[in-house]
Amino acid sequence: MTRPVAADADAIARAAAALRRGELVAFPTETVYGLGADAANPEAVRRIFAAKGRPADHPVIVHLHDEAAARRWARAFPEGAAALARAFWPGPLTLIVPRAPHVDDVVTGGQDSVGLRVPSHPVARALLAAFGGGVAAPSANRFGHVSPTHAAHVADDLGDSVAMILDGGASDVGIESTIVSFATDPPELLRPGGIAATALERVLGRPLRGGSAAAPRASGTLATHYAPRTPASLVARDVLHAELLQLCDRDERVAVMARTPAPDTPFDGIWIAAADDATRYAHDLYDNLRRLDAADADVILIEAVPEHDDWQAIRDRLARASHGVDDDRD
Ligand code: TXA
Ligand code: MG
Q: In this predicted model, what pLDDT tens digit does every residue of 185-240 receive, in sequence order?
A: 999 999 999 999 999 999 999 999 999 887 554 443 344 433 445 788 999 999 99
CA 109 – ligand 1 centroid, Å: 11
Task: Give the neighbor-by-neighbor strand order of the sheet with 164-167.
Answer: 4-6, 164-167, 25-27, 34-38, 135-136, 61-63, 113-117, 93-98, 178-181, 188-191
pLDDT at 222: 40
Q: Which of 22-31, 284-293, 321-330 has the lowest mean pLDDT?
A: 321-330
Is there an atom of ligand 1 within 6 Å of 138 CB? yes
3-state secondary structure of 74: strand
- Please indicate whether residue 173, judged by its CB atom, sits closer than 6 Å to ligand 1: no
Q: What is the pLDDT of residue 223?
A: 40
In DSSP terms, which residues pair with 234 in a beta bridge? Answer: 222, 302
Identify which of 158, 176, 209 to mutate to test ligand 1's pocket (most ligand atoms within 8 A of the CB).
176
Ligand 1 closest atom vs CA 177? 1
Average pLDDT over residues 127-153: 96
Give the per-residue pLDDT at 5.
98
The CA–CA distances, whole Å, from 121 to 53, 202, 251 equal: 26, 25, 45
Say how many Å lie between the CA of residue 230 and the centre of ligand 1.
26
249-296 residue pLDDT tens: 999 999 999 999 999 999 999 999 999 999 999 999 999 999 998 999
Torsions phi, psi of 42, nearest 5? Answer: -55, -35
